[in-house]
Amino acid sequence: MEECVEELNCSQKTMLKLFSDLSDDFRATIETIKVKMVEIKIQVKLTMRAMGNQTPNQVCNVSSRLKIPEPKAFSRNRDGKELENFIIDIKQYFKASGINSEETKVTLAFMYLSDDAKL
């Protein structure tokens, strides 16, 4: 019986040692994560400074102050080159204007069609 008690005590000590080691490992891992988070915060701050602390709205305001030439209207001319130029111009207009919505693009492109091209 004493052997069983001693064996249980030994097992208990082994288990306590394992739990203690695991606890130490977790603490070390948490400290490593904290250090990495501080490094990432510093990188984010440096990146924001490098960008001049511009928000997306500020970037859009710059493009809204520019005078962007509007594309020429397309009037169902069967010349492939004219159609290709219209498509390139309208894409560049959308890009320069910061228009990303497909619905808005379709609506605006339709406005630049004239005569029979709207049919």
Residue closest to 66 by CA, chosen among 23, 97, 107? 97
29-43 pLDDT, tens per residue?
Answer: 999 999 999 999 999
pLDDT of residue 32: 93
48-83 pLDDT, tens per residue?
Answer: 877 775 555 555 555 556 788 888 887 777 778 888
pLDDT of residue 55: 55
The secondary structure of residue 52, as a DSSP letter, is T
- Residue 32 vs residue 119, higher pLDDT: 32
pTM: 0.43
Q: What number of other Cβ atoms are within 10 A of residue 83's Cβ? A: 14
- Read off the pLDDT of each residue in 80-102 and give the average, rounded to a whole number: 87
Task: Give the model's confidence band at 15: pLDDT under 50 very low, under 70 low, under 90 confident, else very high.
Answer: very high
For the chain, the structural domain boundaries read 1-53, 68-118
- Beta-bridge partner residues of 113: 74
pLDDT of residue 35: 94
- Residue 119 vs residue 105, higher pLDDT: 105
